[in-house]
Chain A
Amino acid sequence: MASFLFRRLLANAIVVVGVAFIVFALVFLTSDPARALLPLDAPPAAVESLRLNLGFNQPIPIQFLGFLGRAIQGDFGTSTRTLEPALGMVLDRLPATLSLGAAGLLVSLLISVPLGIAAAARPDTWVDVTARSVAIAGQAVPGFVLGQVLILLFAVTWRFLPVSGSGGISYLILPAIVIGLGSAAGLTRILRSSLLDVLGSDYIRTARAKGLGPTRVMLGHALRNAAIPFVTFLAFDLAAIVSGVIVVEVVFSYPGMGLLVVQAVANRDLPVIQAFTFVAALTIVTVNLGLDIVYGLLDPRIRLG
């Protein structure tokens, strides 16, 4: 397990450097990097001194090393709008976004695991067809449309829940449902099909032959092996969940990283956009590493291989 973890850590470190390069390269898509990193009303002398400070007149590899060095120290420059450190602004919002993402993931699992099991237990019956229809419908409705409809129904018309903002659990419910429904679709489908594949295997027949009931076979024997493709897919789905969180934060004016970056985009606040992109990617890499560990625990072949 130790060498497996080490290999994964190394691979992820390379990914982080690569992400840093892309974030770094963003500046060069503008015509004048130094200009893009300062407020619009900055005096020409300030632009010139930043150009020298950040070494925009040096070769690109040297510039990248400088950028990487500052990034490691947590320095992504200051917001062109508020003049605060960009990374600090993003990290301040991280907890809110993480709790929303976690709540969304929880909703997604609460929907997809029972639906996937139910569909696989009775394939090609009305249970299966219903579960698959729910999954397909959930995938087809975009989060921002569903979010607006839910706001209209629950918060405006029936007044059960707050319209927007953040506070207690009640502020998380609607956004989490939107994120959860969006991601539950794919998870339900993958769990159903991997359960069906596992249920056809020899050791399940053995378990049945021993006289185990269907519940015991499903939860005790099949689910553990079907969980492997499920976790793999979850890792892929992470990007979709993160994207979903961004959009949903805007729909519900939820004060997380997504709302911050959308404001930064409107203000052309490049340092904040860069810091956000980096933090978002780092979050994904970290969660992926966690899933790798889960994966190793689930499947001894990976841990020992």
Chain B
Amino acid sequence: MDEASPTPPRRWTSRGLSTPAVIGAGIVAAIVLLALLAPWISPHDPLAQVLPDRLKPPAWLPGGSSTYLLGTDANGRDLLSRILWGARTSLEIGILSVFLGAAIGVTSGLLAGYRGGWLDTIIGRLADIQQAIPLLILALAVISVVGSSILNLVLVLGIGSWLYYHRVVRGEVLAVRERPYIDAARAVGAGDRRILVRHILPNVAGSIVVIVTLELPQVILFTAGLTFLGLGVPPPTPEWGRLIFDGRDYLQTAWWLTVEPAVFLVLFVLGVNLLGDALRDRLDPIRRHRGR
């Protein structure tokens, strides 16, 4: 913003990668790895109930033991194993619905932006309607009718989250489609499909990645929120929201039941947000130019 200073201060950057971005990437990678390895590294069966060992505190508290590093729940199930397996469920729902939402939204955005006309108008109206119904409320209404299962959650959260991909991709396509290189591609005989996939899509890919980093934590939080409202992943399948919800009645006596899964959830959301922020700064040419 200040052209007088020759080198703007860049406290958060060293060789292009900012500290928060590295922290974010580290957290996300670690949690994804834990989720992938859950079948091999979780110390117990996440569903096995050992009733004599109910509500054991985590290992570092008095009464805790190294058998149950993070303690046990009210049914004597190992919390660490449930959190690791819960990460699988939460990430599975998150990633699948983000893919579904991105697939729908990117396709509709490409088509609406490139073709324009009545197609653009109709999809635009659908987007307006979708925007009037918050995703959580749509999911609540639909799931309450069709019943809750992982597949239904993925479908409703995925279909319901097309909006932002659509809006952003459409806008970018509008900006890109009049560029000379698109005309050039057309002049050498490229068809619409080729122009869309080979020339326009790569240009909007950066924005899509940024929206993914915004939507993934949203969807995972929504799943947890729906569980809280009684509509999430049905028990006994471990899922972060379910674990947090189950701990609700024991908040005063066994706080770790709520706090431990919540820490994983918050860390993951935080990690993706940090990563997304860094990507956004990096992909936004104006801000990159200003060194901010």
Contacts and interface: CB of A to CB of B under 8 A. Distances in A.
Interface in A153-170: 156
Contacts of A140: 217, 266-267, 269-270, 273
Contacts of A277: 133, 137-138, 141
Contact of A148 (B128, B138, B258, B269): B258
Contacts of A240: 134
B262 interface: yes
B198 interface: no
Interface residues of B, number: 52
B61 interface: no
Interface in B232-262: 244-245, 248, 251-252, 255, 258, 262
Interface stretch (A14-22, A41-49, A76-84, A297-305): A14-22
A291 interface: no
A137 interface: yes
Contact of A243 (B129, B136, B141, B230): B136
A281 B140 contact: no
Contacts of A127: none
B64 interface: no
A217 interface: no
Nearest to A151: B251
Contacts of A40: none
Given A137-B270, A280-B133, A18 B125 contact: yes
B181 interface: no
Interface string A262-275: 10111010100110
A61 interface: no
Contact of A139 (B129, B136, B269): B269
Question: Interface SS of chain A: helix, strand, loop or mixed?
Answer: helix
B184 interface: no
A212 interface: no
A44 to B, nearest CB: 22
A124 to B, nearest CB: 5
A144 interface: yes
A152 B251 contact: yes
Contacts of A251: 228
Given A15-B129, A265-B230, A142 B225 contact: yes
Contact of B228 (A199, A250, A261): A250
Interface in A31-70: 36
Contacts of B267: 140
B169 interface: no
A256 B234 CA distance: 26
Nearest to A197: B286
B11 A136 contact: no
Contact of A29 (B142, B228, B277): B142
B230 to A, nearest CB: 6
Question: Interface SS of chain B: helix, strand, loop or mixed?
Answer: helix
A144 B244 contact: yes
A246 B230 contact: no
A281 B221 CA distance: 21
Contacts of B44: none
Contacts of B244: 142, 144-145
A265 B252 contact: no
A107 B84 CA distance: 36
Interface string A240-255: 1011001100110000
A239 interface: yes
B229 interface: yes
A29 B142 CA distance: 8
A26 interface: yes
Contact of B133 (A22, A144, A152, A156): A22
Contacts of A262: 229-230
Contacts of B286: 197
A139 B277 CA distance: 13
Contacts of A265: 140, 144, 229-231
A200 B135 contact: no
A109 interface: no
Query: Closest 3 A-B residue pairs measured CB to CB?
Result: A18-B129, A243-B136, A239-B134
25 contacts: A22-B138, A36-B145, A123-B1, A124-B10, A136-B273, A140-B273, A142-B224, A142-B225, A142-B266, A196-B292, A200-B1, A239-B131, A240-B134, A243-B222, A243-B225, A250-B228, A262-B230, A265-B144, A270-B144, A273-B141, A273-B145, A280-B134, A281-B137, A284-B133, A288-B132
Given A18-B129, A136-B273, A265-B231, 8 more contacts: A14-B128, A18-B126, A29-B145, A156-B252, A242-B134, A246-B136, A266-B230, A284-B131
